[in-house]
Structure 1
Amino acid sequence: MTKLYQVSTWQEFLALVESEELRGWAFRGQRDAEWSLESSLTRRLKQFVPQSKWHERESRAIRVFKRKAHYFLNDTSALKDDFRCLALMQHHGAPTRLLDFTKSPYVASYFALQSCTTPAAVYAVNTPALWHKATPPGLPELTRDAIDPRTTDSLGKYYLSNNYPIVWPGEPWSMDRRIVAQAGTFMLPGRIDVSVEELLNNYEYDQPLLAKIVLSPEIRKETMEALYRMNISSATLFPDLDGLARSISYELEVSWVGTPDPKNDQLMQDK
Structure 2
Amino acid sequence: MNTIQITSWEEFVALSAKLDGWAFRGHQDERWPLISSLTRYLYDFIPNRKGWRAREERAIRIFRRKAHNYLPDANVLDEDLRCLALMQHHGAPTRLLDFTKSPFVAAFFALEKATSNAAVFALNTPVLYNATPIGRPELSRDEIDPRRKGNFERHFIDNHEEVIWIGEPTQMDRRLVAQSGTFVLPGVIDKSLDQILSQYGTNETLISKIILPQAMREEAMRALYRMNITNSTLFPDLEGLARSIAFELEIIWPGLIDDPSYSMRAGPDGSAC
Give the TM interval when normalised to the shorter protein. Answer: over 0.9
CA contact (8 A) 1:120 1:215 kept: yes
1:242 aligns with 2:242: no
What is the CA-CA distance between 1:130 and the residue it aligns to? 1.1
CA shift digits 1:96-116 (9 cap, x unpaired): 000000000000000000000
Q: Which one of the candidate residues 64, 67, 70 is aligned to 1:69?
A: 67
Equivalent residues in 2 for 1:169-208, closer than 5 Å = 169-208=166-205
1:111 aligns with 2:105: no
Cα gap change, 1:267 to 1:210, in 2 (>3 Å): farther
Partner Cα distance (1:268, 1:211) in 2: 48
Q: Which one of the candidate residues 212, 217, 233 is aligned to 1:215?
A: 212
CA shift digits 1:216-244 (9 cap, x unpaired): 00110001000011000000000000000
CA contact (8 A) 1:255 1:268 kept: no
When the two structures are aligned, how many residues end up with a matched partner? 267
Give TM-score, length-normalised by structure 2.
Answer: 0.94
State the AA in 2 paired with 1:240.
D
Partner Cα distance (1:30, 1:79) in 2: 29
Q: Which residue of structure 2 aligns with residue 144 of structure 1?
A: 141
SS of the aligned residue for 1:65 comes to: helix
Q: Which residue of structure 2 aligns with residue 14 of structure 1?
A: 13
SS of the aligned residue for 1:101 comes to: strand
State the AA in 2 paired with 1:17.
S
What is the CA-CA distance between 1:266 and the residue it aligns to? 2.6
CA contact (8 A) 2:23 2:123 kept: yes
CA shift digits 1:65-105 (9 cap, x unpaired): 00000111111111111111001100101000000000000
What is the CA-CA distance between 1:265 and the residue it aligns to? 5.0
CA shift digits 1:133-179 (9 cap, x unpaired): x2112212211111111111001110111110001110001000000
State the AA in 2 paired with 1:194.
K
CA shift digits 1:229-262 (9 cap, x unpaired): 1000000000000000100110111123635315
Equivalent residues in 2 for 1:34-73, closer than 5 Å = 34-49=31-46, 50-73=48-71
SS of the aligned residue for 2:39 comes to: helix
Q: Which residue of structure 1 aligns with residue 76 of structure 2?
A: 78
Partner Cα distance (2:144, 2:211) in 1: 32
SS of the aligned residue for 2:260 comes to: helix
Q: Gaps spanning 5+ residues in structure 2: where?
A: 267-271
RMSD across aligned C-alpha pairs, in angstroms? 1.5
Q: Gaps spanning 5+ residues in structure 1: where?
A: none
CA contact (8 A) 2:256 2:262 kept: no
Partner Cα distance (1:101, 1:258) in 2: 38
SS of the aligned residue for 1:149 comes to: coil
